[in-house]
Amino acid sequence: MNKLRLKFSKNGPIKFIGHLDVMRYFQKAIRRAEIDIKYSEGFSPHQIISFAQPLSVGATSDGEYMDITVNSMVSAEDVMNRLNDVMNEGIEILAIRELTEHDEKAMTAAYAAEYRISFREKFIPSYDWIDKFREYLSLDVLPAMKKTKKGEKEIDMKPMIFDFSFDKEQGYIRLLLSMSSSATLKPALLLQGFFDHIKEELAPHAMAIHRLDIYKYVENDGKPYIEPFITDDTQKRFYLNV
Amino acid sequence: MNYNLALSDDILLSIEKPERYIGNEVNSITKDKKTVDIRFAMCFPDVYEIGMSHLGIQILYGMFNSFEDVWCERVYSPWLDMDEVLRKEDIPLFALESQDPVKDFDFLGFTLQYEMCYTNILQILDLSKIPLLAKDRTWDDPIVIGGGPCTYNPEPIADFFDIFYIGEGETRYREIFDYYKKCKTEGVSREDFLHACAKMPGIYVPGLYNVEYKEDGTIKSMLSIYDDIPKTIKKEMCLEISDVFYPTKPVVPYIKITQDRVVLEIMRGCIRGCRFCQAGQLYKPLREKDVEHLKELAIESLKNTGYEEISLSSLSSSDYTKLPELIDFLIKSCNERKVNISLPSLRIDAFSLDVMSKVQDVKKSSLTFAPEAGTQRMRDVINKGLTEEDILRGSHEAFLGGWNKVKLYFMLGLPTETDEDILGIGEIANKVAAEYFDTVPKEKRNGRTIDIVASTSFFVPKPFTPFQWAPMNTKEEFLEKANKTRKGIMSQLNQKHIKYNWHEADASMMEGVLARGDRKLCDVILKAYNKGCIFDAWGEYFKFDVWMDTFKECSVDPMFYTVRERADDEIFPWDILNCGVTKSFLLREWKNALAGNKSSNCRNGCLGCGAASYGVGVCFENKAN
């Protein structure tokens, strides 16, 4: 039995497929690929699959993750290739890694998510929104009303923003935001806070949100850092100011 | 993958289920439009989830796309939210694969599965900016062609179609495509193209036939305007059913649809001859597919789709001769693959109970019987073979096997129906409950009890059935009968174990009008659509009052089509078609029904219905040597 973590993309028209349908899509793809996936026990067995944080409908991604358990396989590479052979173009397995006993589930191991955010073409504003956004982030407190199970509560978004950069030529900003079971900041909430602050109207679905990757928390002997779930690139490490 | 969607992101994100409009599903086909000669838009005029569940479209889609020179794409009815956006933004309706406007296609095909979809046909044409009336179209518009069960009386929608294809689609399309290509290269007029099509077997071009009416509103004659086209059009049918194209790579949707599984068609036609049933007559004679072939199709389809469920499709699966062999095979191979098997339309007996206990959770599933009527007399009238003894014996065995949920289906408003027949519904339901208490002693019930759901629908007489002559009940009669049924159930000893459901009478009445309607209804349907009637098959959107006002406005009496008793020799709007069974056979069966005489099924004895003229199927079983 092997546990595998798969990194996949979600681009093009596939971005309109909701999270539950993406799960159903993978269940079928796994059957088409004839992967020896492990099933649960019981009268209607289901495949053992779990996903990291769902992506909202309309957002694209190059860094989604799911964990699967297989009874047998030739190699992790082979699982990836078989899947890619039966998948649609917009949804592609980018990397695969075998998990050890010590690895936490994708769902619980997530610590942060990196986004690239821009305006959809027909909504691009005439003013320099990126400059304004930079000013906004320099405020001491970034209050927002967050919906919870019990209603709404006021939170400060600032500590949940780990990193920020931008590219004016390309017209996007890049954000590294907290995404864990205890503190998740969705880009939509931050954007709403920003446009409220600068008193500009944000048309529904005006922003294109692209998730670049999901990060996990690593605490070796040294300083704790976060890095993408699957990576060999030490450049991708991001040290937290704790 | 086609990244160029017809709709912008913000539109798609503002409507319900954008997946309905983006195409790009697994196994959907994209071709280079420069390399094909014919572009075919295939439409099921209802919402995506319903239309995508239809096997017929998957068959023709796969078959057309197997032709190198043809690209077939899909179109479904935009849901009301999308309808509004398309009109407001003035975006022409598009096909899913290329996302190109439907108007640019060579053909627009509709499958007509139920009468209540007729206004949706107009929605599709309208949103595509194709003239609603066939007579107003030019070569700038696609050829609009209809197929499916409702084409067996296409007269109420005759004005909207260039062509109706009568019968199974596998046989004639290649011919039509070749001729179309020839006409396009040679610059033949649209009129001449249609005229030539009308000479092909199975092709009905309604514009080439004139209808004259008598003073009483019935038909005097339906004559062709040319001498060189047939006076009647005979149904097309596949003679070698195991050899025809079958889609083992059906399009797999992203969202959950109504039939979300592999569908394995095991045969066409039915031996049973229930007198109310249209499908039973239309698809005669019964033709079985080779069992070895079916096994291959099943495995291939599961592999190509990744579906977790497979279902058998036919009008009466229990009549498939090699059913035990097929099911054994499926159970074995599906278990290995963790695939579920769903088995609709099985007769309840020892065999089917055994099979069902292997493939489903007995505690959760329910048994279904369709006695259709409450007394044996009534069941003899409709020629439904099922007896009370069959039901009680089947229930008894099922209760021993652990089942405790039973569904019973009946019809109200059948010809010759009396109060006794109506009250018989409650009596049967009560006897099934009593059978449970007799079969399962109290100590073995483990806190469970019997749970019966009795449902009634209102009988709608259909063309090409022995009941095509029958008067249909009025809405008031229907509701009174439903009320009697309810009271009948309430008066039973075990009434608290029986739940009763009945249908809307308004929709049944409307279906009755359209089912046996004539060309005078084209005007009514067009006006009703213009007044906002759409998605009539959806109870919450069906505007009965608007329809009734429109009838008045058009001076058309809906009752003419429903409650009127038809004379034996009346010319029906659908008499221009020949579905294989003769009118004299249907009349004989109608008289047998009125006399309460049963008839045999095709395997027990031939009734000489006429379908043997095709030279295949059950008509020739055991006659080969």
Residues present in chain B in total: 625
- Do B24 and A205 count as a contact with CB atoms less than 8 A apart? no
Min Cα distance A170 → chain B (Å) is: 19
Residues of A in contact with B24 (CB under 8 A): 12-14, 88, 90
Residue in chain B nearest A25 by alpha carbon: B254
B503 in Cβ contact with B473 (< 8 Å): no
Point out the residue among B3, B307, B338 whose CB comes nearest to the CB of A45. B338
B379-413 as b/e, with b when 16 or more CB fall inside 10 Å? bbbbbbebebeebbebbbbbbeeebbbbbbebbbb
Interatomic CA distance for residues A18 and A29, integer angstroms: 16
- Tokens 């050899």 sit on residue: B243
Give the chain A residue nearest B256 (alpha carbons).
Answer: A21
Nearest 5°: CA angle at B554, between B552 and B555?
Answer: 60
pLDDT band at B625 (very low <50, low <70, confident <90, very high): very low
Strands A151-156 and A143-148, by their bridges, are antiparallel
Residues 95-124 of A with CB under 8 A from B: 120, 122-123
Smallest CA-to-CA distance from B527 within B494, B495, B549 is with B549
Q: How confident is the model at residue B362 (pLDDT cuts 50, 70, 90)?
A: confident
Q: Which parts of chain A have pLDDT scores under 70?
A: 242
- To the nearest whole percent, how much of chain B has pLDDT over 90? 92
Nearest to B1 among A12, A86, A203 (CB): A12
CB–CB contacts below 8 A, A to B: 84
The angle that helices B80-89 and B118-128 make with each other, rounded to 10 degrees, is: 30
- The rounded distance, in Å, linking the Cα atoms of B260 and A219 is 46
Asked if B314 and B322 count as a contact pair (C-beta separation under 8 A), the reply is no
CB-based contacts of A231, cutoff 8 Å, min separation 6 = none
Helices B544-553 and B520-530 cross at an angle (nearest 10°) of 130
pLDDT of residue B15: 97
The arithmetic mean of pLDDT across residues B412-429, rounded, is 98
The predicted model scores a pTM of 0.96
Q: What is the CA radius of gyration of chain B?
A: 25
pLDDT, one tens digit per residue, over B61-70 is 999 999 999 9
Please write the tens of the pLDDT for every residue from B326-338.
999 999 999 888 9
Q: Is A224 an interface residue toward B (CB < 8 Å)?
A: no
| More reliable by pLDDT, A234 or B561 | B561
Mean pLDDT, all residues of chain B: 96
- 8 Å CB contact between B202 and B175: no
**pLDDT tens digit string along B586-621?**
999 999 999 999 999 999 999 999 999 999 999 998
ipTM: 0.94
B143-147, strands of its sheet edge to edge: B70-76, B38-44, B107-111, B143-147, B163-165, B203-204
Q: What is the pLDDT of residue B418?
A: 98
| H runs (alpha helix) in chain A | 19-32, 76-85, 106-109, 129-137, 187-197
**A109 or B251: which leads in pLDDT:** B251
Report pLDDT for A242. Answer: 57
Assign 3-class secondary structure to B113-171. Answer: CCHHHHHHHHHHHHHHCCCCCHHHCCCCCCEEEEECHHHHCCHHHHHHCCEEECECCCC
Cis peptide before B285 (omega within 30 of 0): yes
Best of B15, B252, B338, B360 to substitute, by most chain A Cβ atoms within 10 angstroms, is B338
The residue of A19, A23, A32, A120 whose CB has the most chain B CBs within 10 angstroms, and thus the best one to mutate to test that interface, is A32
CB contact under 8 A, B13 and A16: yes
- Give the dihedral sign, CA B599/B602/B604/B605: positive
Written as one letter, the residue type at B285 is: P
